[in-house]
Amino acid sequence: HTSHIDFQTAVLGVDTNQTNYPCPLDSFFHKGCEQRNGGTVCVYPNAILKRVKKKFMADELDAFQLLNDTRYFPKLYYADERCQTILVENVRQKGKEKNRWCSNYTYYEEFYRSAFEIFNEKNIIPRDLNTCCNTIVNGDNIRIIDFGQYRLDKEPEKVLETNKKLLETILQDIPS
């Protein structure tokens, strides 16, 4: 049985006196982290650590609760609403910085159509979803990331109408 403190020391390599309580993940933000529209992002080999801006945090957490099918979305390992930090699976292949579109168009089209079925079922409008930055593609391994600007709507008709247009735009952007 390993305590939280032992885990930080043994696995993460951070001495217990270096952790910042009450927000212990703050110790893992460093100069190499990127400032983005939704907050700060630190990329580690197996995980992404994000400090999410307050205005996006609730939607991001709600989306992670609803979008938990790991065939389409990354795993959420940890979330701390008070500290505005989340730790999610890094779905990009190690050593790769750009998407590798190498399957045929039909494969990617089916992926997005299936993902939009989930969005429609959960009444979610993926407002900032695109093929360049919020989709990670490694051949046949695809995941949709970054839910901070997703809109969780109540009117299914509006969701269906908006998502139909978004899907059309995304399908046009898939490299062929």
Q: In the structure, what pLDDT confidence band is assigned to residue 157 with cuts at 50, 70 and 90? A: very high
Q: Say how far apart CA 34 and CA 31 lie, in whole Å.
A: 8
122's CB contacts (< 8 A; 6+ apart) are 66, 67, 152
Q: Is residue 109 pLDDT above 80, yes or no? A: yes
Using alpha carbons only, what angle is made at residue 22 by residues 17 and 26, rounded to the nearest 5 degrees? 70
Give 26-82 pLDDT, tens digit per residue.
888 988 899 988 899 998 888 899 999 998 898 889 999 999 999 999 999 999 999
Average pLDDT value for residue range 151-161? 88
Residue 158 identity: K
Q: How far is CA 25 from the centre of its chain?
A: 18
Average pLDDT value for residue range 120-148? 86
Q: Is residue 6 pLDDT above 60, yes or no? A: no
Give 80-93 pLDDT, tens digit per residue.
999 999 999 888 76
Global pTM reads 0.79
pLDDT at 14: 55
